[in-house]
Structure formats: structure tokens, C-alpha cells
Structure 1
Amino acid sequence: MLASAAGAVTCEDRGDITLCTVDATTEDLRLFHTDPDGNLLGSFYPIEDAFGELQFAMNAGMYHDDRAPVGLHLENGVETMFLVPNPGPGNFGMLPNGVFCIGDGFVSVIETLAYRDNPPNCDFATQSGPMLVIDGDLHPRFIDGSTSRYIRNGVGVSDDGKTAYFAISNRPINFWDFGSFFRDELGVSNALYFDGKVSRLFAPDLGRRDGGPRMGPMVGVIAPE
């Protein structure tokens, strides 16, 4: 199991996967979709123009062609897209899916129906899917040895809610192996898939500022002033 990083954001290349660890009790961890004027951000650099220096960022949830979130999006306590509890096409609708919640000094990954029935006090939240790890088990539809491989990214949380683990694969990987990284190597009980194909990372300490088409929701840490 990986130890929590005290008061820091740390990113490390672990071969097949790059991992960024964030202490939720001390760091300014947020979701980003629009700037204060309501304009779509779409990429990492406009976040810095609008909010300040980024220590880390990645895409954080699926979105439509117009970059609007597919599921729940909560930013600064304001809900701009509602929770979607129903099954549907694609990875998002492969239930169980879930919600990544950022609160005051804590983070959580919660299965969607559990969130609906008893939502925590989140300042920021994004819904995505599928769940990668659910109470210590891999998603029931994952297949060991599956040939469906993509660059994938997602988030897991420590059981005490103090640490968020953001991972992105450095090569195409299947769901089974990606979920197993969170469960077996990080020892987390709950983890959520963010996306594949469009997965991107901003980690300046590693020299990574991934570019590409405009994105929808993003997650990141703003450096102290």
C-alpha cells in the first residue's frame, strides 16, 4: 500500500502507470469546467489563467460533444448537471458507476445509488463510470485478459478519506489490469474510472503537459499563492 503524502502533491512514473498522490487535508483540490465568467475552460492552461498555478491536473469525467458533463457535476457547491442513476450505453452507463466527491478536508468515491440515497457534503463532485473497485472488489463485468485496451485514467481514495490517488496508464490497458492497480498495488477499497482515449495529465514535475482536443470536466490542485 502506498503511504499518504503529507501536505504535498507527488507524481511518479511507475512504468505502465503514472500516479499522482494528493493530500486532501492540505491541498487545494478542485474540479474545473468553466471560468468565473462561465466560459468553458477546455484544457489545462486556461485553468492557470483563471485560477492560478497548477501543481497537477487531469481530465475528470465523461462529457458530450459540447463538453457538457454526462452526469453529475458539482462545482463550489453549485450543481450544473444532475445525477444520472440509470444504466445506459458506453462505459458511463456500465453500472455500477460512481461519484468522486471533494469535501472540506476529505475525498470519497461513492457508488451512484449510494450517493443518491445519502450524499456527503461535497464542495465538488463528478460522476463517471464504471466503478473500478467497489468495496474492495473489481467491477463484476471486468474480464481478466480482455483485449479491450486503451490509455485510461481514474481516481481512488484512501479508506480514511484523506488521500486521493490519480492514475493514468502510459500504455493501452484493460479494465481488469487498471482496476487491479488500485486494489492490489494501492490497497484502496473504492476507485472510479474517468475516461479512456482522451485521458490526459498535467504534471510539470514530470515534464508532462499533455495536449489534445478540448476537454470537459477536469480535476487539479492549485498551488498556494
Structure 2
Amino acid sequence: MSRTESALLAVAALAASLLAAPARAVECERIEFDGNRYVTCAVDPESEQLELFLRDPEGEVWGDFSTLDTALEAEGRNLVFAMNGGMYHSDRSPVGHYVEDGEEVMRVIPNAGPGNFGLLPNGVFCLRDGYARVFETRDYLERRPECRDATQSGPMLVIGGKLHPRFLPDSDSRYIRNGVGTTDEGDRAVFAISENAVTFHDFARLFRDRLNLPEALYFDGNVSRIYAPEVGRADLGRQMGPIVAVTAPAS
């Protein structure tokens, strides 16, 4: 069977799973805030297996949720929740710092640069067992926290309870956007994707003023994707680089 045929079968299986997916501890819901619509998924890292995925054992980029889900099923695990987890180059390699299962794939990029990634301050999403925390990049370099997995993206949305200083309330730059916010203690992470085009200012306020999270990091815009069976979402389309996901043993 060709890789294309396998991918098509995986997509069909993934779509069917949405109809029969059991309730999970990851809490996803559709909400409205300040005239905009979002899907949010709250994850307790103490009770959930939250991790990053980039390449399969053969070195191929996973690329989409269905391919990853099929591989997990073969290992006796289920994909519970997933989202694109950071910006990437045309070959889908990470633009910034990336660590998976303790192995550094890409170093930290601390300097300003083009595009949203380089709109400082940017940040790093750090994961280890029982812990999920967004750090502003300079703070990350100073603290050097222990991260089993880490992905750098940008810009930061919320830093210490304050919006990124470059965000404008009257901006006309609107896109579908996704990102993650965390508590300072690293005991709660909330992932969000907009269901209509929003500004950076709109999106950052969601995390600070609606979700009450002091740190939040932007993942991406045009390529924003989410797998959230609880609300009937299994986004397909454009291939991704890093994927952040919650997995669980198959029941």
C-alpha cells in the first residue's frame, strides 16, 4: 500500500473516531469572548501525558494528526488532543528551539528577526512530567529549566500578566490564530484556537482576561490546526511541523 493510500485510510479512521470518541479528561469547549469565537482545551499536566512530536522513527516528519494517531494506535495508545506546536521552515523543521524526549533538535534563537517569530519578546513552551510552562525566551535562558520537551515560538501573547507591548487594539491584521497559556506554577495549560479571524490584541486578551493566565505564547496563524474530538474538530489540510499532543493508553 502506498503512503498516500495509507494516509487516506488514516484520515477516514480519524474522522470515524470523532463520532465514537469517549469522554476524556482534557476539557475542550467552544466559547465566545469580546465578540470572537474560540475553541479552548484545558490540560492538567499532572494527570495527562502531554508531549511534543516532530519525526517518526524513520526520520519522517509526522505532518498531520491522522498519521500520528495511526502510529499511536499501533503502540496501544490513543490521540486525545493535538495542536500544531510552533513555527517551522519549508522542510517543516522547527524555526526555533526544539527539544523532544530530552534531545535538542534546534538551539534557542534569542535575537529579533523577521516575521511573527522574531517579534520580541518571544517564548518557549517547556514540558516535563507533571509540568507545562510558558517562559519568555530571555527568562528561559536565565533559568535554564529542566524540559523533557520544549518548543520556541513567537511572539509572546502575555508576559507576567501584561500584553505584548507591540499589540495594537485597533490593528487590522486578522487571522485564525492558535497558542497556549499557562499558570506560573506550570500546573495548568490551556490551548486555544480562534474560529474567526482575530488580531493579536484580541487573542492575547483571551488568555489574560478570559482564561486568567499570566503567560501565553503564540503558535501560528494561517496553519492553525486542532484535534479535539470533544467538540468535533479534526482539522486536516496543510502539513505541520511540531505537534503538541495529549496521548493515553488505549482502553
Deviations along 1:29-87, one digit per CA (max 9) or x if unpaired, are 01111112322100001111223311110101000011000001100000011110010
1:17-36: CA deviation from partner (whole Å, max 9, x where unpaired): 10000010010101111112
Structure 1 spans left out of the alignment, 5+ residues:
1-6
Is 2:57 the partner of 1:36?
Answer: yes
Which of these residues, 148, 163, 180, is aligned with residue 123 of structure 1? Answer: 148
Give the AA of the match of 1:44: F
Counterpart in the other structure of 2:113: 88
Deviation at 1:117, TM superposition (A): 1.9
Q: Give the root-mean-square deviation of aligned CA atoms.
A: 1.1
Pick the aligned partner of 1:8 from 25, 30, 38. Answer: 25
1:70 aligns with 2:95: yes
**Corresponding residue for 2:20?**
none
Structure 2 Cα separation of the partners of residues 223 and 104 of structure 1: 14
CA separation in 1, counterparts of 2:97 and 2:71?
23
Residue 191 of structure 1 corresponds to 216
State the match for 1:25 in structure 2. 46
2:50 and 2:169 map into 1 onto residues whose CA distance is 33
What is the CA distance between 1:9 and its match in structure 2?
0.4
* Matched letter for residue 163 of structure 1: R
Tell me how far apart the structure 2 counterparts of residues 76 and 49 of structure 1 sit (CA, whole Å): 20
After the TM superposition, which residues 76-155 of structure 1 pair with which residues of structure 2 at under 5 Å, given as runs? 76-155=101-180
Aligned length: 219
Name the CA distance, whole Å, in 2 between partners of 1:89 and 1:200. 23
Deviates more, 1:41-50 or 1:125-134: 41-50
2:230: which partner in 1? 205
Output the TM-score relative to the length of structure 2. Answer: 0.85
- The answer as to whether partners of 1:17 and 1:169 remain within 8 angstroms in 2 is yes
In the alignment, which residue of structure 2 is the partner of 1:164?
Answer: 189
Give the structure 2 partner of residue 4 of structure 1. Answer: none
Preserved contact between residue 36 and residue 50 of structure 1 (Cα < 8 Å)? no
- Aligned equivalents of 2:199 and 2:93: distance in 1? 26
Give 1:114 shift.
1.2
Q: Is the 8 A contact 2:133 2:185 kept in 1?
A: no
1:155-212 Cα distance to aligned partner (Å, 9 max, x none): 0002321111000000000000100000001111100000001101101121111011
1:223 shift after superposition: 1.9
Paired-residue identity, %: 55
One-letter amino acid of the counterpart of residue 223, structure 1: A
Alignment of 1:39-58 (within 5 A): 39-51=60-72, 52-58=77-83
- Alpha-carbon distance, 1:224 to partner: 2.5
- In the other structure, the counterpart of 1:221 is 246
Deviation per CA, 1:117-144, whole angstroms, max 9, x where unpaired?
2211111000000000000000000000
Q: Is the 8 A contact 2:182 2:213 kept in 1?
A: yes
Partners in 1 of 2:50 and 2:238 — Cα distance?
A: 23
Higher helix share: 2
